[in-house]
Amino acid sequence: MWKQRLAAYVYPFQHPAWGLAHVRRVLEMSLWLAEEEKLPVDQEALVAAAYLHDMGSFKPFRVKGQHHGHRSAEIAEQLLTKVGFPCEKAGLVKQIINGHMYYSDPEQGNEARVFHDADVLDCLGVIGIARWLSIVGLDDLTPDLPSAIRLIERFSQELPERVQTETAQKKAATRVKEMEDFLANLSEESENLQLL
């Protein structure tokens, strides 16, 4: 029952880049990474973390100056007991959420490692490109198209070294190639990105 309650709570927070589709992709990627790496994980904790890990990015939860992951962990603490999530696993969910951002070093723990890598992978490849382009004009990160393209280029260079598992490193390499191809083609078709 807690899953339905949590899903119902999160459902209104629609977002092209951090919404429910992102939640599902990150969850599925986390489980796939755990399987490939032969890491035992608590699936319930991963489900709860997937639903809640970006809630701190949304109004009315967002707090200026606070990392959204840390804010999301605070929200999770309050919400999980309300929806009837097994309280003995709440600490694990918070640990996963606190370490999910690409610039974080996830705390030790299989769940935090695979979740962190899954969230980083969702910033890469064609899915990453689609997400960054979907928030042009909607987020401080991407006020216009050229800034979104610069972000895509920067992430293609900086994010792969952030992933920790070998399986995610291989997947990241494939996705970086997709981004490099995109950027090369875009550059060719826009006079070196001048005509965007």
Residue 42 within binding range of Fe ion, rule CB under 5 A: no
Pick the closer one to Fe ion by CB: 69 or 160.
69
Distance CA 174, CA 171 (A): 5
Residue 111 within binding range of Fe ion, rule CB under 5 A: no
Minimum separation from the CB atom of position 57 to Fe ion (A): 7
Minimum separation from the CB atom of position 37 to Fe ion (A): 20
Question: Which amino acid, 177?
Answer: K
Residue 119 within binding range of Fe ion, rule CB under 5 A: yes
Contacts of 86 (CB under 8 A, 6+ apart): 2, 44
Minimum separation from the CB atom of position 93 to Fe ion (A): 14
Measured CA to CA in angstroms, residue 174 lies from 53, 160, 179, 181 at distances of: 25, 10, 9, 11
* Residue of 42, 47, 48, 54 that binds Fe ion (CB under 5 A): 54
Measured CA to CA in angstroms, residue 140 lies from 24, 91, 132, 156 at distances of: 25, 31, 11, 19
Pick the closer one to Fe ion by CB: 16 or 146.
16
- Contacts with Fe ion by CB under 5 A lie at 54, 119
